[in-house]
Structure 1
């Protein structure tokens, strides 16, 4: 795992931000900054009910601010009741957009929600995404399932030239897990708080773990022609497998 410095990362990139979860990482805000704030849309994905307030806001005046709160039972149930139990997604008519997902194990709905923000904002704005955190996902789903989810989601974000970073606490997981997740990101940024926790798993360790997970009947893929962009239906289809 060869770490980069956040200042060297530019879009499009998917970044694994490695740091102790008990400590805020300064790199988070750096990875959300762009020179032209008026043409930037910022999206945060968090597992708390106050996602909008905790958005990193790397740009002083982003044109659009979005938040997806996962596991937000109160807001999620309220939204589902108003739509007869269906998750229909947020209203994108305003400059501040919020979505709430009740079930943190429903990776398909989480992926589709992020994909909708890509569809709405990806063409007109430089999209930055802060995903907090992979630790929460790994608490609710097996590593292989989360790896497949991240594989699909990072492809979707790349399709709209987003700059996205995903938080991960290396002290909470096996070295092979952390290194294997790092292998699918464009860049890995390690905070000072986690330098002693950077995993020492080898390429052979990563290959062995991927071999254990390799099942062609289950591995999610999105078949696209050149220049074609993944749709919400594509994301939902592969994540529901």
Structure 2
């Protein structure tokens, strides 16, 4: 297993292999977590990326505004899947000050425990982008929230299938999990699904790859 330690931003361009599925072990609310999320979604220039964002806790507008604040330029295409409570603020496209465009689409899933429905939506998005010459990157925010609606065994089975689909589609994807919000057995079980684990501890990032 390969391990790297870091204490700054722009960490992951050399440490995370393109097409890897990454478990991001970090506090749910922390500036370092936000920076790492953006870095993992910005492994290429924005115009060379299709961005897939699954959000349980933030509105689609907030996600896009954060992207624009950090990156400046839009990705080539954006699909946001808004799950559960966040669907109340979701519309057909990302609106408000972020400025919608045709490639920006919000899809909603009102039941956060409907993993079958979520899997179908994500598969449809990957299929739509199959012939794109842009690389696809994905953020799943978050497994911490998902585990409030599904037991560990159900979540594991869902993630086993989803990471397989991402791998087949050469998607570089990261999944947020707050290790302080679940037990060590849960962390260990889910870690086994991922190519790379990026962990924030004592002010430093550690990258572990198989």
TM-score (norm 2): 0.77
Query: Is 1:100–2:108 an aligned residue pair?
Result: yes
The one-character-per-residue Cα deviations of 1:69-124 (angstroms, maximum 9, x if unpaired) are 00045478x99xxxxxxxxxxxxx92101101100010011111111111111331
Q: Which residue of 2 aligns with 1:6?
A: 12
Q: Which residue number in structure 2 is paired with residue 176 of structure 1?
A: 185
* Alignment check: 8 A CA contact 2:54 2:81 kept: yes
**Mean Cα deviation higher: 116-125 or 137-146:** 116-125
Distance 1:41 1:193, change over 3 A: farther
2:78 corresponds, among 56, 60, 65, to 65
Task: Return the alpha-carbon distance in structure 2 between the equivalents of residues 192 and 133 of structure 1.
Answer: 18
Of Structure 1 and Structure 2, the greater strand share is in: 2
2:56 counterpart residue number: 47
Higher relative contact order (CA 8 A, sep 6+): 2
Residues 1:187 and 2:200 aligned together: no
Residues 224-235 of structure 1 aligned to structure 2 (within 5 Å)? none
Q: Are the aligned partners of 2:59 and 2:82 in contact in 1 as well (CA < 8 Å)?
A: yes
SS of residue paired to 2:147? helix
Give the RMSD, CA atoms, in angstroms. 2.7
Indicate if the aligned counterparts of 2:78 and 2:105 stay in contact, CA closer than 8 A: yes
5+ long unaligned stretches in structure 2: 5-10, 93-100
**Which residue does 1:121 correspond to in 2?**
129
Matches within 5 A, 1:133-172: 133-172=142-181
The structure that has the greater radius of gyration is 1
Aligned length: 183
Question: The residue matched to 2:188 in structure 1 has which SS?
Answer: helix
